[in-house]
Amino acid sequence: MLATNAMNSQFNRFDVLAEKSAAEAFDLALTKLLGDTLKHRRSQLISAENVQRFRHGDDWSHPGLPNAYNAGMQLHSSEISIKFDEIVNHDLSAISRYVDKLVEDLNAQFQRTMYATISAACDQSGNLVDASEAGGPIESLAVMLEKIRFTADKHGKVQRPQIHMSPVAFEKFREAQESAPPELLQRIQQLDELRAAEAIEEEIQRKARFVRYGEAQ
Amino acid sequence: MRVLLAIGCNDYKEADPLNGAELDAQRIFDALLSEKSSWYDGDRSRLLLSPTLDEVRAVLREMLFRGPKIETFTFFFAGHGGVNAGSFYMWVKDTMRVAQSVSALALADLFRGINEAAPRQTNIIIDACESGGLVDDLGVLLKPELLGDVGTPSLTLIATSGRDQSAGETATGGLGTNALLDCIEGSELINDTCSALDLVDIGRRVAAKLQPQGQNPVVWGLNLYGPPSFCRNLRFSSDGLERMRDFVVNWSTHTDDLVAANKDALWSTYLSVSGDWSQKQFQRFVWSISQAPNLPSDQIASVIERLAAAFLQRAAQCEDPYRSVLVAAILAASLLPHVGNPAAHAVAERLSDEATKALLHANDQLISSLSSNRFALLSTKHGGLADLYFLPLRVSQVLGWVAAGPYVAQTEEQRKQSVDQMRVLLPLILEHYEGSLVALNDSQASAWCICLAQASEVGLMDEGERLAGLLFYSLATSGGKVARNDLSAEDALGYLLAKAANDYSEAAELIARPMETITVLLKAARLFDLEEVYDEALWRLDGVSFSAYMPSELAHFNEKIMHGGKNFIWTIGHDVFRTKDFVATWPSMVPAPSTVVSKALSVLSALTLPDRQPWFLLDADSSDERSLQGEH
């Protein structure tokens, strides 16, 4: 991922007064900076607890959940060139250009993959809501709440779904919310409470599948 | 007792016959046992011509294990060679092509025998005729562990290869053997200061002679136990160097202890010198030798000189021509505390000469490289953004080394060549790397100090003024925020990010405080009449503290931490508002070198250790120093 200085081989070149270990240490620091910046950007979309790492292979499956959607692994890559002149002229802005370009590229690809995966998973499960058919953004929220389930963590805390929307869509949603009839908002509130209660019950049922859950009293 | 076994094999049952192998062995045997220079025991030494494996083994058994203990064992082989399953084999008369392991003399077996007999020094010379790339293979196969644990720093091996028989042979014998004999018989001068020669010294010369012929001999190993003992030095002259001869004759076993104590470090350092290395580790290793307690200066100097022979040969294999410069410089500078001793002084003089020769060669290479490619100083393998930090450091190092040449030169001819190179390289660097001439790290200060002093001395006034101006400008624009001289490579990015944002609030620990870069520039201002220019911009450095450390005497100048002496500190906006305020309070106690050699070693110390400046070069009284330079 790091840019390297691939010199033109037409010149009889040799490295002068260079120490490999020092350059490697610098590159390691740069890679860490890139990694930390990417992690920060990713954490705005997905919590660190939901990130899983695989070292080997190029696919995965859930043998116990044969219907789970699987988009497989996607390769994300980016390329940037740094001109020799930038280095020779000690142009330090090259560092931020380099980091920003790679982070923006990789983050954009990650976002695309994530939304494409969600979209494909929804296609497979049939969890699709058409806002125009529903009658508006708030109505579509109500329809969505009817279709989906919430989850609760093992402490009984309900995890509500995240809503991702563009700034324009968000503005429309906010305006629609302000002008929405009270009975619609009340229905949404009731659906939310219902789904939360279902989630807690499901979590109780899930735990019940263990022989025992929690330390003996 | 010194013993020689010379084997030449012309006749083979399963290989093409050779013409010159027996002759080469005969010539080596005659040269080392001649009446004029008989150095080996005539009764115990043997010459074998086209022997069988059993004959070789019988002679080796007799020679190594019967009779008085051997001090020096020299083995010469000329004949076919082969590599099989990672082992090197010397072919003898009855060697079977498909069964080398049981019918040829394995180098590993020879090593094992030598290891068991444990002569104090061992010299192995292999002239592997018609062997193609075999010598290259041998270079790869040779590892310290091949020898076992005992006595590893006591062996030297030279392998030459007459790859192309028509090119590798002359009417009088193999090129490798001829080059070797030139050294043994004295027609090629190695030195005239020691009564005996080391095979490493000879190997370096042989390699230098054969490389233009397309041969790259392997010269491998250290030979550090005991005095040099490969052959008598027919060019030895005792004139004025009696002490040197005395210590060679009366070699102390303490130096053997020193070598034994550092055996592991010796090998790891030796092997790293030709490739990826750490200059700091090399420096630490050299200090461990040069600062050994309870050893007199002359003996330390002799070990350092022996190390230099082996390490410079190894460094010559590195693609970076400045590696040899650094190796010679670090070894030479380590003798600074010992130069009061005449023998150590003589060694220091020779090593300074080696450093200068290596420097002249490296500078020539760089001039040629920069002339064909203006990006020649960018790293080819480990560059990219890392060079935003390392390139300015590299550029300053190059300028420091180029400028050091005339200070380190040991002859007028060398000084003249060094000055000529300075006149080419300083303008070339200014032309191609103006943007990288920035004060980035306080470790650059000594390079600026040496370069500005030299520019002034050789009359490169416009170039010196431009360099000093660029550096001061870079300091002023960063508000004097230069990285500390011990900044780790891991922290370099953090410093660059702070510099790019001009926000050092999170990088306070990375900044040099006080710094010596400003001290160098203010001190050099008068050389280029820059005082008023600097004064105009001094407000930009308001609050910046700067310093100068003066050792009590230059004998301490190569120590890792110098004790005694004094740190002088100034702060812009407190006690310095104009350059003249600083000049007026500059201390009078600036230690100056008393000899050409101590001056050379001080300059080398300043360039190899990043936290000390040779202030005497910039001092107002430096006219004394310049007259010292004129004594060449």
B425 in Cβ contact with B367 (< 8 Å): yes
Mean pLDDT in residue range B251-259: 66
State the pLDDT at residue B179: 86
Give the 3-state DSSP-derived string for A48-72, with helices as H, strands as E and coil as C: HHHCCCCCCCCCCCCCCCCCCCCCC
User: How many angstroms separate the CA atoms of B321 and B421, rounded?
Assistant: 15
Q: Is residue B149 scored above 80 in pLDDT?
A: no
- Is the Cα dihedral B12, B18, B23, B29 positive or negative? negative
Q: Which of A18, A91, A98 sits opposite B390 (nearest CB)?
A: A18
Exposure string for B537-568, b = 16+ CB within 10 A, e = fewer: ebebbeebbbbbbbbeebbbbbbeebeeeeee
Cβ neighbours of B497 in A, within 8 Å: 33, 95
Q: Above pLDDT 70, what percent of chain B? A: 88
Confidence of residue B172 (pLDDT cuts 50, 70, 90): low
Tell me what the pLDDT averaged over chain B comes to. Answer: 87
Q: Residue B439's closest chain A neighbor by CA?
A: A90
Q: How far apart are CA B558 and CA A140, in angstroms?
A: 79
The predicted structure's pLDDT at residue B162: 53
Does CATH place domain B2-237 in 3.40.50.1460? yes
Q: Which of residues 388-447 of B touch A (CB under 8 A)?
A: 388-392, 394, 397-398, 432-433, 435-436, 438
Query: Chain A residues with CB inside 8 Å of B488's CB?
Result: 25
Q: For residues B396 and A90, give the distance between their C-alpha atoms in angstroms, rounded to a whole number.
A: 14
Q: Compute the distance between CA of residue B10 and CA of residue B21 in angstroms, rounded to an integer.
A: 6
Question: Given this model, what pLDDT does residue B208 score?
Answer: 82
Q: Cβ separation of B378 and A24 shorter than 8 Å? A: no
Using DSSP, state whether B374 is helix, strand or coil.
coil
Query: What percentage of chain B reaches a pLDDT higher than 90?
Result: 58
Mutation for testing the A interface, residue in B319, B327, B378, B385 having most A CBs under 10 Å: B385
Nearest to B554 by CA among B622, B509, B600: B600
Q: Token pair 């789904």 is at which residue? A: A195
B603-621: average pLDDT: 90
CA B601 remoteness from chain centre: 14
Whether B497 contacts chain A with CB within 8 A: yes
The model's pLDDT over B27-86, given as tens digits with 9 standing for 90+, comes to 999 999 887 667 899 889 999 999 999 999 999 999 999 888 888 999 999 998 888 877
pTM tops 0.90, yes or no? no
User: Mutate which of B365, B374, B493 to disrupt the A interface (most A C-beta within 10 Å)?
Assistant: B493
Give B203's pLDDT tier (boundaries 50, 70, 90): confident
pLDDT at B240: 43
**Which stretches of chain A drop beneath a pLDDT of 70?**
1-12, 217
The pLDDT tens digits of the residues spanning A151-203 come to 999 899 999 988 888 899 899 899 999 999 999 999 999 999 999 999 999 99
ipTM: 0.73
What pLDDT is recorded for position A7? Answer: 42
Contacts of A90 in chain B (CB under 8 A): 388, 391-392, 435-436, 438
Of B276, B384, B397, the CB nearest to A5: B384
Helix (H, G, I), strand (E, B) or coil at B241: coil
Which tokens belong to B478? Answer: 């960063």
Give me the residue spans of the domains in chain A. 20-48+70-125, 131-208
Question: If you measure CA to CA, which chain B residue comes closest to A16?
Answer: B320
- Residue B631: is its pLDDT beyond 50? no
More confidently predicted of B231 and B369: B369
pLDDT on residue A9? 41
Which residues in chain B are classed under CATH 3.40.50.1460?
A: 2-237
Q: Containing H/E element for A158?
A: strand A158-159
Mean pLDDT of B603-617: 96
Q: Which strand ranges, in their side-by-side order, compose the sheet holding B105-106?
A: B81-84, B87-90, B105-106
Q: How many CB atoms are located within 10 Å of the residue B456 CB?
A: 20
Return the pLDDT at B184: 87
B219: left (phi over 0), alpha (psi -120 to 50) or beta: beta
CB contact under 8 A, B321 and A18: no
What mean pLDDT do residues B518-526 have?
Answer: 97
Q: Are A30 and B385 inside 8 Å of each other by CB?
A: yes
**Cα A88 from chain centroid?**
38
pLDDT at B138 over 50: yes
As a whole number of angstroms, the distance between CA A19 and CA A203 comes to 57
Per-residue pLDDT tens over the stretch B380-435:
888 889 999 999 999 999 999 999 999 999 999 999 999 999 999 999 999 999 99
- CB atoms A95 and B433 under 8 Å: no
Residues of chain A with Cβ-Cβ distance to B276 below 8 Å are 19-21
**CA B599/CA B339 separation, integer angstroms:** 11
- pLDDT for the residue numbered A54: 80
Look at B152-161, B232-241, B278-287, B435-444 and tell me which has the smallest mean pLDDT.
B232-241
Buried residues in A108-132 as b, exposed as e (16+ CB within 10 A): eebeeebeeeeeeeeeeeeeebebe
Q: Do A92 and B388 touch (CB under 8 A)?
A: yes
Q: For chain A, say whether B561 makes contact (Cβ under 8 Å).
A: no
Residues from A in contact with B at Cβ < 8 Å:
2-5, 7, 11-30, 33, 82, 84, 87-96, 98
Q: Residue range B586-612: average pLDDT?
A: 94
pLDDT score of A214: 83
- For residue B258, is pLDDT > 90? no
CB pairs below 8 Å between A and B: how many?
Answer: 152
Give chain A positions within 8 Å (CB) of B278: 19, 21
Give pLDDT, residue B541: 95
